[in-house]
């Protein structure tokens, strides 16, 4: 296994599509490592960076041992082809151990998921992320959500931590993001973390990468969006987003938990092996499964080789 990227190298590599992988479970709810490897290899062909073990990877339903096994398998499968950024979180002590393990098995960076206890002020959040970053030499990416937001002053403090090199913004508040961009864009890689739907807005500000779950089963569309974005063709990118991803996005936000459910079910319908979800998630109801099938059929995603889509 080759050397991991340094934090500055990882920061430079955070461009294009950052693919968020799923964790395939068998019917007995065990992890299907062979399917995991196949899916990771698929992502490596279509993304600039591969990210297992985030929300899309159901990190919250895994044991620490499973987390390590999954991260190591993905690194072994794609190392040398694409950087691997592993999701860590749950609690500060657990996240620190996950970070240490990720460094040991050769990951290139970690994405720190928000703490569950979110009633924290800037000082508390700073210590939380500083402590996790101190557990590893790997590059660290922050994760902003509706529940955990980073004020510009807090971001400036975090940017002083040498190996904190980026932030994934899943909140989607562009007014706030403009202020964050002004505060730290010269020191952090700020990422569009809401997928394709708002990527044109972020790229208009100067962002160079967006995260994607759709790339697990419709990479051709995602690559076309990226091509337009990198060419500065924002209207063309927005047109593809509207015509080819909006219906799937609407289904993913229909109910809590659907973001992962829809990705997994779409992969399975397209002939890939995403397996089932693990509780507390439950399978997609049949009515919504048929609605998803109709969307995929209209997009001609149910025919032929998934890699050609």
3-state SS, 223-289, equals HHHHHHHHCCCHHHHHHHHHHHCHHHHHHHCCCCCHHHHHHHHHHHHCCCCCEECCCCCCCCCHHHH
- Under 8 Å between Cβ of 216 and 42: yes
- Triad 109, 60, 91: Cα angle to 5°: 70
| pLDDT at 118 (0 to 100) | 75
Instruction: Give dist(CA 191, CA 40) in Å, integer.
Output: 21
Instruction: Give dist(CA 245, CA 222) in Å, integer.
Output: 9
- Tell me if residue 123 falls in helix, strand or coil: helix
- Under 8 Å between Cβ of 83 and 10: yes
| pLDDT at 57 (0 to 100) | 98
Q: Which residue has the tokens 């339903």?
A: 61
* Segments of the chain scoring below 50 in pLDDT: none
Long-range contacts of 231-234 (CB under 8 A, 24+ apart): 234/200, 234/203, 234/204
- Under 8 Å between Cβ of 6 and 162: no
Instruction: Give dist(CA 7, CA 147) in Å, integer.
Output: 27
> Measuring CA to CA, which residue among 277, 222, 269 is closest to residue 245?
222
| pLDDT at 273 (0 to 100) | 97
- Triad 252, 277, 260: Cα angle to 5°: 20
| pLDDT at 18 (0 to 100) | 99
Domains of the chain: 7-219 (3.20.20.70)
Burial 173-209 (b: 16+ CB within 10 A, else e): eeebbeebbebbeebbbbbbbbbbbbbbbbbeeebbb
């Amino acid at each position: 296994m080759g050397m991991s990227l340094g934090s500055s190298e990882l920061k430079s590599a955070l461009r294009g599509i950052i693919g968020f992988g799923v964790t395939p479970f068998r019917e007995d709810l065990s992890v299907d490592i062979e399917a995991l490897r196949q899916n990771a290899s698929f992502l490596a062909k279509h993304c600039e960076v591969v990210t297992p073990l985030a929300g899309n990877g159901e990190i919250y339903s895994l044991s620490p041992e499973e987390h390590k096994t999954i991260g190591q398998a993905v690194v072994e499968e794609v190392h040398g082809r694409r950087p691997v950024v592993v999701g860590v979180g749950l609690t500060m002590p657990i996240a620190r151990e996950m970070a240490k393990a990720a460094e040991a098995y050769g990951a290139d960076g970690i994405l720190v998921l928000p703490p569950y206890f979110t009633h924290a002020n800037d000082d508390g959040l700073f210590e939380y992320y500083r402590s996790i970053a101190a557990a590893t030499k790997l590059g660290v990416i922050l994760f902003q959500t509706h529940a955990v937001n980073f004020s510009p002053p807090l971001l400036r403090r975090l940017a002083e931590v040498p190996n904190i090199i980026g932030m994934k913004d899943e909140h989607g508040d562009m007014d706030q993001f403009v202020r964050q961009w002004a505060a730290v864009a010269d020191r952090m890689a700020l990422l569009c973390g809401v997928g394709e739907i708002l990527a044109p807005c972020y790229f208009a500000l100067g962002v160079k990468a967006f995260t994607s779950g759709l790339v697990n089963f419709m990479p051709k569309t995602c690559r076309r969006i990226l091509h337009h974005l990198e060419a500065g063709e924002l209207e063309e990118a927005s047109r593809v987003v509207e015509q080819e991803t909006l219906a799937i996005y609407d289904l993913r936000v229909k109910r809590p938990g659907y973001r992962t459910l829809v990705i997994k079910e779409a992969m399975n319908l397209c002939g890939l092996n995403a397996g089932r979800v693990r509780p507390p998630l439950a399978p997609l109801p049949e009515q919504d499964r048929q609605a998803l099938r109709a969307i995929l059929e209209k997009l001609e995603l149910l025919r032929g080789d998934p890699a050609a889509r």
